[in-house]
Structure 1
């Protein structure tokens, strides 16, 4: 009986140290209850996503960006996360990453600039969770996407429930 209790306690302790982690909830000062957000602010230099409703912060998460995040996206494969004003234009529940919200990049000015330079502006920029291959066990560290904005799977599930098509997305340097 004592051995079983010790084994159970040891197992619980190891689970607490090494088991899967759920995302920490939004800070208490942001814990207002809403059913939708109308604006998502991405601050690249702070590695932060803030979702708000009518100007009031609802959620705030740490983010990962493209593998070369400084500067605005200009071409396919540059590893940069675009900067500017966008909207959510698609929702993909079957993404290769845990859920994804597509944004309206490239914009007409991005397409024009790329055409003048004879390059592909890139596309398929999303806010998404972690790669499905990782399950819910790991979260990749650092900036690792091809230009997207990544958050934890638990955070993505929460954001997914609050975002409709047409939600404004502002990405700042």
Structure 2
């Protein structure tokens, strides 16, 4: 009897652990996301299929939210036209998708000032343990949404999708 109860507890725990792990990877079978538009001032991210808005999200930005990112460590979020260029399922921020900052113009400007442009700009979920967000605008230049929202975005947006980031 004790072995059966113990075995059931172990199997239940394993099933729960597997279910918890699988939850962050959603599937999406709707219309293709053809473009993202982000409005920093309004803290609004829009996902489009051609001219139709599919989803709208609110977000937090870098600790210095005004202005275009120019240098490594400036805490700003880029402005301009980029693409979604990578994804990180093991991000310290739940899930994340990368933005192709810096582009050639960003690199050239930073070099002309004798500085590095920085990089590793992502749309990501909330922080993991050990990172204390100071809301709003707590990231180092990334775009932060809730964990549930990044799960949706991660499933909907493909690498190569254009993103326009406006002031």
TM-score bin (small chain): 0.7 to 0.9
Measured in 2, the distance between the counterparts of 1:128 and 1:38 equals 19
Q: Normalising by the residue count of structure 2, what TM-score does the alignment of the two structures yield?
A: 0.79
8 Å Cα contact 2:133/2:139 also seen in 1: no
Could you give the per-residue CA deviations for residues 65-101 of structure 1, whole angstroms, max 9, x where no partner exists? Answer: 0100100001011110000000011010000101100
SS in 2 for 1:132: coil
- Structure 2 counterparts to residues 18-167 of structure 1, below 5 A: 34-133=30-129, 141-167=135-161
Could you give the per-residue CA deviations for residues 94-143 of structure 1, whole angstroms, max 9, x where no partner exists? Answer: 00101100011000011001111000100000000001228xxx986300
Q: Which runs of 5+ in 2 are unaligned?
A: 1-28
8 Å Cα contact 1:40/1:52 also seen in 2: yes
Measured in 2, the distance between the counterparts of 1:132 and 1:93 equals 13
8 Å Cα contact 1:97/1:132 also seen in 2: yes
8 Å Cα contact 1:139/1:152 also seen in 2: no
Measured in 2, the distance between the counterparts of 1:93 and 1:140 equals 24
SS in 2 for 1:41: strand
Deviation at 1:48, TM superposition (A): 0.8
Measured in 2, the distance between the counterparts of 1:37 and 1:166 equals 11
Q: Normalising by the residue count of structure 1, what TM-score does the alignment of the two structures yield?
A: 0.76
